[in-house]
Structures are given as structure tokens and as C-alpha cells.
Structure 1
Amino acid sequence: MRAFYRGAMDALYAACVIVAGVALVLISAVIPWAVYTRYVLNQAASWPEPTAVLLTIVVTFIGGAACYRVRAHMNVAFFVSLLPPTWRRVPEVVAELLVAAMALFMLIYGEKLVEATWYNTIADFPSLSVGVTYLPIPIGGACLLLFVIERLVLGPLDQFTELAPHAH
């Protein structure tokens, strides 16, 4: 069961990285187009800015969950490092539980935000629901919560563990 859950989290992590990576590449294409149309053609396109904002939301919440899993996030471990080794687990678990609480907040209230704005539309994209644009919040919260559970139950990833699937 442990191997199955770790494998599922590997797959979820890979999906998060791919989605966030594609969003980042698209941002890198959209912003220069906005600059080109505004300053070279002297006729700014209306869609690049809101598109970049929507893609940034994806990078922030989906990519943020992936970064958390591999500890590629800001971490202040100075005070924990001052503790004796036997006491270090306590603040680590407290920190994980606080992250889990934040993930639950994102999941629950993000879903309520999506539901409340589902039938609203964006002026620049009349066929796109505002609720759809907020979907990365509860999805990122769910991914983050699953990664917290993984770390609490199975322990942190070994820093030398390969994250991609590998043959034995």
C-alpha cells in the first residue's frame, strides 16, 4: 500500500510539474506577444494580459504544490536546527499540520469560490467561466493535502530518490 501511494504521488507530482511547466511556457509566449502588439503594431491585443494572469494562477497553485513535495520552497529551519535531534520532529510535524490546514482551507473555500463564480463570465473571454479560472485553487489545495499526507505517513522523500518512474 505504501508503494502504491508513493507511486500515485509520483504520478500526481509529474502531472503538477507538466501542467505548471506548460503554463509557464505559455506565459513566456503570451507576454512578448502583448509587448509586440502594443509597442510595435501600436494596437494592443486585449487577451494576453488576462491570459497571463490565469496562467500565473495555475503556476502558483499547481506548481506550488509540486514544489512543496520536493521541498523546493522557502523554509526557515534555523530554529529547528538548534534543537536536539530528538526534538526536531515536533516542529516538523506541527509545520506539516499547518500546511495541511492551509491546504484544507484552499480546498474548501476554493471550491466555494469556484461554485459562487461558476456562472460569471470574464469580459475578455465571454465563453470562459470565472469559476473555471479559480479551479487551480482547490485543485492545488487537494494536491498539497495529498503531498502532506504522504510526508506525514510515509516520511519525506529521500533527496536522492528519483521522482520519475524507473524500472527495477
Structure 2
Amino acid sequence: MAALYRRIMDYLYLLCVLVGCIALVLISAIIPWAVFTRYVLNSAASWPEPLAILLTIVLTFIGAAAAYRLNLHMNISYFADKLPPLPRRLLDLVVQLLMAVIALFMVIWGEKLVEVTWYNTIADFPFLSVGITYMPIPVGGACLLLFIIERIVLGAPPDPIAHHSEAAPFE
């Protein structure tokens, strides 16, 4: 059962990375288009900025869950690293539980935000529900919560990059 859960989390992680990468690539394509239309064509398009903002929301919440899974997020562990093994494990458990509270907050209140704004539309995209644009908040929170459960129950996932970092340094 543990191996199955780990494998499912691996696939969820890859999906989060894929969604985040697609959002980043689209942002990287949209912003230059906005600059081109504004300064070269002298006729600014209205849609690139709001679309880039919506994609940034996707990148932020879905990408953050993926980064958290492999501990690639920004953290300060200097004092935790100085602790003996048992207090350090207890501190890590407290951190995971606090992160679970944040993830639950994202799921519960994010879902309420989606529900409240579902029938509103965006001026630049009248076909798009505001609720859909806020969907990455509860989805990212759910992914984050699943990754936290994995970390608490099964331990940290193996680092897929670790074996590549042992290559010879540049000379």
C-alpha cells in the first residue's frame, strides 16, 4: 500500500511540475507579445496582462506544492540542523502539521472563494468564470496536503536529482 501511495504521489508530482512548466512557458511567451504590441505595433493588446496573472496563480499554487514535495522551497534550517536527531524529528513533525493546517486552509477557504466567485466573469475574458481562475488555490492545497501526508507517513520521497549532482564539477 505504501509503495502504491508513493507511486501515485510521484505521478501527482509530475503532473504538478508539468502544469507549472506549461504555465511558465506560456507566461514567457505572453509577456513579450504584450511588449511587442505596445511598443512596436503601438496598439497594446488588452488580454496578455490578465492572462499572465491567471497563469501566475496556477504557477504559484500548483508549482509550490511540487516544490514542497522535494523540499526545493526556500527554507532556513540552520538551527534545526544543529539539533540532536530526536528533537529534530519532532520539530520536523511540528512543521509538517503546521503545513497541513495551511494546506487545509487553502482547500477549505479556496473552495469557498471558488464557490462565491463562480458566477462572476473577468472583463477581458467574459467566457471565463472567476471561480475557475481561483481553482488552483484549493487544488494546490489538496496536492500539498497529499504530499505532507506522504512525508509524515512514508518519510521524504527520494530525490530524483541526487544521483545526477554527483557528476564531476567543472574544471
CA distance in structure 1 between the partners assigned to 2:89 and 2:150 by the alignment: 16
* Structure 2 unaligned residues grouped into runs of 5+: 163-171
1:113 and 1:160, CA in 2 relative to 1: closer, same or farther beyond 3 A? closer
Which deviates more from structure 2 when the two are superposed, residues 62-71 or residues 150-159?
A: 150-159
- The equivalent of 1:104 in structure 2 is 104
Residues paired across the two proteins, number: 162
Instruction: Name the residue aligned to 2:36.
Output: 36
Distance 1:128 1:154 in 2: 40
C-alpha separation in 2, matches of 1:26 and 1:158: 30
> What is residue 132 of structure 1 aligned with on the other side?
132
Does the C-alpha gap of structure 1 residues 160 and 20 become closer, same or farther in structure 2, counting only changes over 3 Å? Answer: closer
Partner of 1:76: 76
SS in 1 for 2:50: helix
Q: Which residue does the alignment assign to 2:45?
A: 45
Tell me the alpha carbon deviations over residues 35-89 of structure 1, each in whole angstroms, 9 at most, x when there is no partner. 0000000100000000000000000000000000011101111111121122110
Distance 2:59 2:19 in 1: 8
In the TM superposition, residue 161 of structure 1 has moved relative to its aligned partner by: 7.5
Instruction: Tell me the residue number matched to 2:166.
Output: none
Cα gap change, 1:61/1:24 in structure 2, threshold over 3 Å: closer, same or farther?
same
Consecutive unaligned residues of structure 1, counting only runs of 5 or more, are 163-168
| Alignment root-mean-square deviation, CA | 1.1
Equivalent-residue separation in structure 1 for 2:85 and 2:4 (angstroms): 30
Could you say which residue in structure 2 is the equivalent of 1:90? Answer: 90
Residues 120-167 of structure 1, C-alpha deviation per residue, up to 9 Å, x if partnerless?
0000000000000000000000000000000000001133588xxxxx
